[in-house]
Amino acid sequence: MTSKEAWPGRRFTRSAGFAELEVGGGIEVRRCGTADLEVDLEVCATTLVPPWQNSGPPLWSGMAAKIFRHQHRVSYAECTVGNHVYYGRYLDLLEEARGEFFRRLGTPFLLWQQQETLFPVIECRLCYKSPARYDDLLIVEVWVTSLEKVRVNFGYRIVSEAQREILVADTFHVCTGLNEKPKRLPPDLIALLEPYVFRTSSDSGGQG
């Protein structure tokens, strides 16, 4: 299937697991498969579910998620003697972006802490794609991968200004009180996060 057959009047190119779709004079970058797979645009439009290692909301889906983007300039203190960002520093970048995401929602983590609600990390997965270096401007993308009962999980993708993929990651959180006992996610937070949830057509959805 050609791009013209799938998307009449739209220019389509693909590189390293991404699709670039020109729509109405603007460019939209959409995930579509992985670098070592042929892409069927008809499948991408309906059923694409990438693994977490190449994750990102498949925005051709009718259940597309919004993505929060945060910029970060790499400092010298974050780099090793080999002039690349030390691997452990990426967890700091994810936390920074996650915090700014909640601030953008109008409910910074400090507000939740004052309401005796915390979201500790219980698991994280990072896949390093290419090195980031001193003075690079990075874009950290954040979305929600799961939102149910006492759990909220986030997906991330870090890219350079030139859209070179640096890292993809997931963090898994549980909602607790200051006593560290699990409790249900606040309904108002669920409402704020819902637009950022990546769901597939096979998901039953809901918070449980």
- How confident is the prediction along the chain (208 residues), in pLDDT tens digits per residue? 333 333 333 333 333 334 433 333 333 334 443 333 333 333 333 223 333 334 455 443 434 579 999 999 999 999 999 999 999 999 999 999 999 999 999 999 999 999 999 999 999 999 999 999 999 999 999 999 999 999 999 999 999 999 999 999 999 999 999 999 999 999 999 999 999 998 754 454 444 4
In this structure, the answer to whether residues 80 and 169 fall within a common structural domain is yes
In this structure, the answer to whether residues 167 and 135 fall within a common structural domain is yes
Question: In the prediction, which pLDDT does 200 show?
Answer: 57
In this structure, the answer to whether residues 101 and 152 fall within a common structural domain is yes
Question: Does 75 reside within a domain?
Answer: yes
Integer distance in angstroms from the first to the last C-alpha of the chain?
A: 40
Question: In the prediction, which pLDDT does 56 show?
Answer: 55
In this structure, the answer to whether residues 23 and 89 fall within a common structural domain is no
In this structure, the answer to whether residues 32 and 87 fall within a common structural domain is no
Torsion of CA 106, 109, 114, 120, to 10 degrees: 150
Question: In the prediction, which pLDDT does 27 show?
Answer: 35
In this structure, the answer to whether residues 117 and 191 fall within a common structural domain is yes
| Distances in whole angstroms, Cα of residue 57 to Cα of each of 30, 49, 67, 157 | 8, 8, 8, 10
In this structure, the answer to whether residues 92 and 162 fall within a common structural domain is yes
- CB neighbour list of residue 12: distance below 8 Å, 6 or more residues apart: 3, 6, 19, 20, 21, 22, 41
In this structure, the answer to whether residues 107 and 192 fall within a common structural domain is yes
- Note the pTM of the prediction, 2 decimals: 0.69
CA–CA separation, 196 and 25 (whole Å): 25
153, 199 in Cβ contact below 8 A? no
Question: In the prediction, which pLDDT does 57 show?
Answer: 56
In this structure, the answer to whether residues 189 and 93 fall within a common structural domain is yes
Question: Does 131 reside within a domain?
Answer: yes
- Structural domain range at position 21: 3-48
In this structure, the answer to whether residues 91 and 183 fall within a common structural domain is yes
Question: In the prediction, which pLDDT does 65 show?
Answer: 72
Residue 32 identity: C
- CB neighbour list of residue 191: distance below 8 Å, 6 or more residues apart: none
In this structure, the answer to whether residues 21 and 115 fall within a common structural domain is no
Question: Does 109 reside within a domain?
Answer: yes
Q: How many domains does the chain have?
A: 2
